[in-house]
């Protein structure tokens, strides 16, 4: 008997009609003989509303109370879907993170799942009861509710699938799979029938929010067969995540991602001598700031140079504070920052074997008159930082240049 996890995102459970529709999809799998665990998100817009309420009361608030508030959205949908399933004759019950329990780290607001006890779930599943699990939440080591960061229900689903050793994990959303780029900004984007775990990991971490990055990491680690499907056209085929070897046609570029969540910081006239990078990035790491791209210019006089790096916009203030505190040790002249920047990335395992891939990206930007501010590369991706106003133009131009457009 197949054991499956079905995850439904916010738009899929946005109102009662949609929750009834989701109950129908779950019922269909039960009637096919599967044991089903369902993971649900909050109704569309609900998490944003809860976050705004918390921030409006106090911009600086206790992250543990933030978690109590924002985890509530998923509690509502889990209960409603269990009610809808029962009403259609399917045995079901809701599960909150702490009831399973889903144990997480203590980093409230962006906790990591550490352990899921599969015993209770497996017992109920084997009795034929559908488990409707509130996504996005768990219980932290301090015994308080925790949440997993935006988009975290994907991670709940994949982690539950790994814990109960499900035969597959289906992520139902408002698009019918993973596309070559965000179909909302490039209507000519194509659905990929398969994508390698590694490519999906890069796509997600570079901004494609169709799957939370951590969910892909867990799927890769525990070899969870993962599909992305449409709630509204569930028989459309979707996208299967698979091993690199299972992809026959390795184009140089598989997909394009972008992220507006970028801020650029430049330290002017820092000493060009050993130990300076450590004096800058040590305090940033201590302050919990994640530094992404880094570029240091060659110094003209051999004494002073400039250094630019990027952080996520939400960490900008923390980064600037850390830099200011470390000013005496670093010894810069002044520091500037810019939040009107964005990162555009090309991703593909084919880059390992094709040459001239980055060159095409730079030429495309030159033709469009888009200035490249910072570049970073890895084996299967090239990312560039550009002015935010050019993001859509850049993504569309690259999509055409790498022949990803639909015919």
Rounded Cα distance between 331 and 351, Å, is 40
Taking CB under 6 A as the criterion, the residue among 135, 138, 255, 283 binding ligand ASP is 135
Taking CB under 6 A as the criterion, the residue among 35, 146, 153, 308 binding ligand ASP is 153
Q: In the block, which residue shows the tokens 């509690």? A: 75
Kindly state the number of chain residues that form the binding site for ligand ASP, as judged by CB under 6 A.
13
Smallest distance from ligand ASP to CB 193, Å: 24
Smallest distance from ligand ASP to CB 149, Å: 7
Helix (H) or strand (E) holding 341: strand 334-347
Q: For ligand ASP, which is the closer residue by CB, 71 or 401?
A: 71
Smallest distance from ligand ASP to CB 43, Å: 9
Q: Is 50 helix (H, G, I), strand (E, B) or coil?
A: helix
User: Closest Cα to residue 160, out of 115, 199, 99?
Assistant: 115
Q: In the block, which residue shows the tokens 């390992």? A: 352
Q: What is the DSSP string of 124-170?
A: HHHTTPEEEEETTEEEETTSSEEE--TTTHHHHHHHHHHHTT-SEEE
Q: Is 30 helix (H, G, I), strand (E, B) or coil?
A: helix
Per-residue contact string for residues 20-49; x = within reach of ligand ASP by CB under 6 A: ---------------------xx----x--
Q: For Mg ion, which is the closer residue by CB, 76 or 291?
A: 76
Taking CB under 6 A as the criterion, the residue among 8, 10, 276, 384 binding ligand ASP is 10
* 383, 398 contact by CB (below 8 A): no
User: Is residue 125 part of the contact set for ligand ASP (CB under 6 A)?
Assistant: no
User: Is residue 73 part of the contact set for ligand ADP (CB under 6 A)?
Assistant: no
* 250, 353 contact by CB (below 8 A): yes
Residue 181, contacted partner among ligand ADP, ligand ASP, Mg ion, none, CB below 5-8 A by kind: ligand ADP
Read off the tokens for 173. Answer: 């959303």
Taking CB under 5 A as the criterion, the residue among 97, 138, 151, 207 binding Mg ion is 151
Report the side by side order of strands in the sheet with 102-104.
113-116, 102-104, 137-140, 145-147
Per-residue contact string for residues 109-148; x = within reach of Mg ion by CB under 5 A: ----------------------------------------
Determine if the peptide bond prior to 101 is cis (ω within 30°): yes
Q: In the block, which residue shows the tokens 């009403």? A: 87
Read off the tokens for 367. Answer: 């033709």
Chain residues in the site for ligand ASP (CB under 6 A)? 9-10, 41-42, 47, 73, 135-136, 150-154
Chain residues in the site for ligand ADP (CB under 6 A)? 9-12, 41, 151, 173-175, 178-179, 181-184, 208-210, 255
Chain residues in the site for Mg ion (CB under 5 A)? 9, 151
């Amino acid at each position: 008997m197949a054991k499956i996890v079905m995850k439904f995102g916010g738009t899929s459970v946005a109102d009662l009609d949609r929750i009834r529709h989701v109950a129908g999809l779950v019922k269909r799998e039960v009637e096919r003989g599967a044991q089903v665990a369902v993971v649900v998100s909050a109704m569309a817009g609900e998490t944003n509303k809860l976050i705004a309420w918390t921030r409006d009361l106090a911009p600086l608030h206790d992250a543990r109370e933030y978690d109590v508030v924002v985890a509530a959205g998923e509690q509502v949908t889990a209960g409603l879907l269990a009610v809808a399933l029962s009403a259609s004759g399917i045995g079901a019950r809701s599960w909150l993170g702490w009831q399973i329990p889903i144990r997480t780290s203590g980093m409230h607001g962006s906790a990591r799942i550490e352990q899921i006890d599969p015993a209770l779930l497996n017992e109920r599943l084997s009795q034929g009861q559908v488990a409707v699990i509130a996504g996005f939440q768990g219980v932290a080591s301090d015994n308080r509710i925790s949440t997993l960061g935006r988009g975290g229900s994907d991670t709940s689903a994949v982690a539950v699938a790994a814990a109960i050793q499900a035969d597959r994990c289906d992520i139902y959303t408002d698009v019918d799979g993973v596309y070559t780029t965000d179909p909302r900004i490039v209507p000519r984007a194509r659905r990929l029938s398969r994508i390698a775990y590694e490519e999906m990991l890069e796509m997600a971490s570079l901004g494609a929010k169709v799957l939370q990055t951590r969910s892909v990491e867990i799927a890769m680690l525990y070899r969870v067969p993962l599909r992305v499907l449409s709630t509204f056209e569930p028989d459309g085929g979707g996208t299967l995540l698979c091993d690199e070897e299972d992809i026959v046609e390795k184009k140089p570029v598989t997909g394009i991602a972008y992220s507006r969540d970028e801020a650029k910081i430049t330290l002017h006239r820092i000493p060009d001598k050993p130990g300076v990078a450590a004096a800058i990035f040590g305090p940033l790491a201590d302050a919990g700031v994640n530094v992404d791209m880094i570029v240091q210019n060659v110094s003209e006089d051999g004494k002073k140079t400039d250094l630019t790096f990027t952080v996520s916009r939400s960490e900008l203030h923390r980064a600037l504070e850390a830099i200011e505190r470390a000013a005496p040790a670093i010894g810069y002249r002044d520091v500037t920052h810019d939040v009107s920047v964005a990162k555009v990335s090309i991703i593909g395992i084919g880059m390992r074997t094709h040459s001239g891939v980055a060159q095409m990206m730079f030429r495309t930007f030159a033709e469009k008159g888009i200035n490249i501010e910072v570049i970073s590369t890895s084996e299967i991706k090239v990312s560039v930082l550009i002015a935010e106003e050019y993001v859509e133009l850049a993504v569309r131009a690259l999509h055409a240049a790498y022949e990803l457009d639909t015919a």
